[in-house]
Amino acid sequence: MKLDGFGIFVTDMAAMIRFYRDVLNFEIREDENTSNVYLVKDGTLFLLYRRADFEKLTGRAYGYADGINGHYEIALSVENYAAVDRTFEDVVSRGATPIMPPTTEPWGQRTCYITDPEGNLIEIGSFTE
């Protein structure tokens, strides 16, 4: 087996499409009323799936975290430390919720955290000064 991609089960599809398309610049072309967004971002499958539709498909209910949740993170890389700082400021100015400002960690990575509208953690980082 090989990792093909990942999915996020969402409540407000329109808000999530606007965030990933307009704030993080993912190439999403689906209408905001869709129940399923399927795209490839930098060679990785990325899926937004409406929770209610997935529950109907599988015939069962699921528990979901509310608010800022720490079940996983989406990690995005940029070219260097300065780009971490610029990108953080840019995405926060366009509506991302800031969690941790750019910080250089002892292991040599400059990193920061934001969340999407449903509280999923997104890391933006670089190992290149």
19 in a structural domain = yes
Total count of domains within the chain: 2
Mean pLDDT in each 10-residue stretch from start to end of the chain (129 residues)? Answer: 91 95 92 89 91 95 92 95 98 97 98 97 98
Query: Residue 111 is part of a domain; what is its CATH number?
Result: 3.10.180.10
CB 116 within 8 A of CB 98: no
**Three-point CA angle 13, 58, 51, nearest 5°:** 20
Domain carrying residue 97? 69-126
The one-letter amino acid code at 56 reads K
Same domain, residue pair 32 and 80: no
What DSSP letter does each residue of 35-63 carry, written as one string? SEEEEEETTEEEEEEEHHHHHHHHTS---
pTM (2 decimals)? Answer: 0.92
Same domain, residue pair 27 and 49: yes
Question: How many contiguous H segments (helices) and E segments (strands) does the chain have?
Answer: 3, 7
Question: In the prediction, which pLDDT does 31 show?
Answer: 87
d(CA 28, CA 39): 7
Question: In the prediction, which pLDDT does 62 show?
Answer: 95
Question: In the prediction, which pLDDT does 3 show?
Answer: 85
d(CA 4, CA 35): 21
